[in-house]
Amino acid sequence: MRKRGISPVIATVLLIAMIVVIGLIVFVWFRNIIQEEGTKFGKNVNLVCGDVEFDTDYDSYSGTLSIANNGNVPIFGIKIKISGDGSHKTKDLKEISSSWPDLGLNQGGTFSGDIYSETSNADEIKIIPVLMGSSEGKNKIFICEEQYGQDIVI
């Protein structure tokens, strides 16, 4: 009785194909984990978020939000996380108020605008800064993490 198996050439080709497929899977996985970071002032933009200093005030009767940039980092935009009724939604301040400056708030800049239509049923709002940085030689918008935002309890 003769035992037959796979020829060594076919076995080698199958092993190489499996290694290539596994290598591609690992490459795609690492590529998704390591995301490209932008820079601002020569630093990673996520580190610059910690340097942003701003004050906020919200008048719940008139629905007026006031923001003052007290730091050295220009704030390009603001994301507002509105929480209430067991849910939350995040809006761009430019969508809510047309009075937000096109180039954002530079050092010492202030903003005041009506956001009552979006916050009338809110229990809490979180003001999250948005920065403009550069990535691969192009300007890119970076939203800071929520830990760098400010909470306003209504």
On whether residue 10 sits in a domain, the answer given is no
In tens, the pLDDT along 108-136 reads: 999 999 988 888 788 899 999 999 887 77
Give, in degrees to the nearest 5, the angle at Cα 56 between 59 and 112. Answer: 65
On whether residue 1 sits in a domain, the answer given is no
Question: C-alpha 53: how far from its chain's center?
Answer: 17
On whether residue 53 sits in a domain, the answer given is yes
On whether residue 93 sits in a domain, the answer given is yes
In tens, the pLDDT along 15-39 reads: 999 999 999 999 888 876 665 555 5
Query: What range does the domain containing 96 cover?
Result: 40-153
pTM over 0.85: no
On whether residue 35 sits in a domain, the answer given is no
Number of compact structural domains in the chain: 1
Tell me which residue of 87, 101, 153, 99 sits closest to 130, measured CA to CA: 101
Q: In this structure, what CATH number is given to the domain that contains residue 64? A: 2.60.40
On whether residue 58 sits in a domain, the answer given is yes
